[in-house]
Amino acid sequence: MAKYQNMLVVIDPNQDDQPALRRAVYLHQRIGGRIKAFLPIYDFSYEMTTLLSPDERTAMRQGVIGQRTAWI
């Protein structure tokens, strides 16, 4: 088995089961290495931010990031 030192795992926020993360944890337990998780965030309401002030946009962005962080 190849020795992976770094693994990038994409987390799918639309499903509770994360097979890629599960496989990465399995490999980590077998051969070690580091796992880095990537959670892409797309929120359609963020597309409408052109009507908002920069402060409101920043607050909205932080709110979306906070929701996803809590989900993890």
Model pTM score: 0.66
Positive or negative, the CA dihedral 54, 41, 70, 32 is negative
| Domain range for 55 | 43-72
Per the CB < 8 A criterion, the answer to whether 37 and 21 are in contact is yes
How confident is the model at residue 67, as a pLDDT? Answer: 84
Residues 5 and 16 in one domain: yes
Residues 8 and 35 in one domain: yes
Residues 36 and 4 in one domain: yes
Total structural domains within the chain: 2
Residues 33 and 54 in one domain: no
- Gyration radius (Cα) of the chain, Å: 17
How confident is the model at residue 33, as a pLDDT? Answer: 92
* pLDDT mean values, one per 10 residues, the chain (72 residues): 85 91 95 93 72 84 85 78
Per the CB < 8 A criterion, the answer to whether 16 and 44 are in contact is no
Residues 49 and 65 in one domain: yes
